[in-house]
Amino acid sequence: MISTKNKKNTPQLTRRAALTTPPGVFLRIMMFCLALLILLSCISCSSFASQLDASFFIIRKQLISPGYEWAIFRGQDRAQPDGTSVTQMRLCLTEDSEESWKDITPATMPAQWIETVFFLDRYHGWMFASDAQPEDPDARFYLLSTVDGGKHWQTQEFRRQPYNLMLDMFPTWISFSDPQHGWILWHWHMMNSSRESLLSTTDGGKTWKRLPDPQGAGPMDFVSSREGWLICASDNQQGIPFWEDDALCATRDGGKHWKTVALPIPRQTSDLKLSFDEVRFKSGREGFVTGGFYNLSGTTEPNEFMCRTRSGGRRWRCLTIPKGGERDE
């Protein structure tokens, strides 16, 4: 039997022994713990890369802030035992200018195909996912949202029928000016015909309403609850084909009405087709739009240009980008 006196003395002996432990032992323990933490950190940083094979590639990405951006990765379709295939797509974030990527794809995402993504900042993001087929009249879409940079996601089911959207329409662009005000651009295209529809929300995506159809397939970027920009179709087009990306449009009433914007783009020969490809605003006043003049035969490289504004779109300055040069965004 162990005496009560020995029980009381045991903690005191343990603490005294600890105090008399040689300092070198503590140093070795600390160095071991530090090495272990570094190893675990490296494993964590490289875990995403090890999950992807060489078939994965980026199909869309966008800068959120310097060094911080999201990207959609797609891999080869995975064959299933029943003869069908599953699309492999992942949503990832980088915080070090693409040196490493972190997979933030929702673990319980109800669909495999990622339609479009938008991040307002490092925390607030939205994503559309669906496995819908164009001919499915009751197709289900899923709007997923996060307020903590992709650590947790909320899922909302979305269908075309309540908004009287065309059967074959799919969401192509999302834009939010703040956590409450957002827009979804839907697109339909067949042969030389196309059509767009625009939905808006004022409660962070809980409810949506349909706005008048815009004449443009995007991209789009809203800088406030009323002001937004859209790559669109120029006025007075006739015949076929009908170009949806040869002008820049602006709205001052939250997407209800759009007007084309005159830009001082350097003139080119008449056999080249004008096409815009991106519009981004860093703030309500500072933004840019990029595009190029293309030879429709595809035999020459496009003559690219960039237009910038620092006055909220009232004044623009356009410059030609040398072939092979980089765009300074």
Per-residue pLDDT of 102-115, as tens digits, reads 999 998 888 888 99
Structural tokens at position 230 = 């859209």
In this predicted structure, what is the pLDDT of residue 10?
Answer: 36
Mean model confidence pLDDT for the chain: 80
Give, as one character, the DSSP assignment of residue 162: G
pLDDT at 260 over 80: yes
pLDDT tens digits, 141-179: 999 999 999 999 999 998 888 999 988 889 999 999 999
pTM over 0.85: no
In this predicted structure, what is the pLDDT of residue 148?
Answer: 95
Contacts 24+ apart (CB under 8 A), 153-157: 153/106, 153/109, 153/127, 155/106, 155/108, 155/109, 155/110, 156/205, 156/206
* 169 within 8 A of 180, measured Cβ to Cβ: no
DSSP 87-144: --EEEEEESSTTSS-EE---TT-S-S-EEEEEESSSS-EEEEEE---TT-TT-EEEEE
In this predicted structure, what is the pLDDT of residue 47?
Answer: 44
Looking at per-residue pLDDT, the higher value among 207 and 131 belongs to 207
Q: How far apart are CA 55 and CA 53, in angstroms?
A: 5
pLDDT at 182 over 90: yes
Coil/strand/helix, residue 163: helix
pLDDT tens digits, 31-52: 555 554 444 443 333 344 445 6
In this predicted structure, what is the pLDDT of residue 2?
Answer: 32
Average pLDDT over residues 297-325: 81
Give, as one character, the DSSP assignment of residue 9: H
pLDDT at 211 over 50: yes
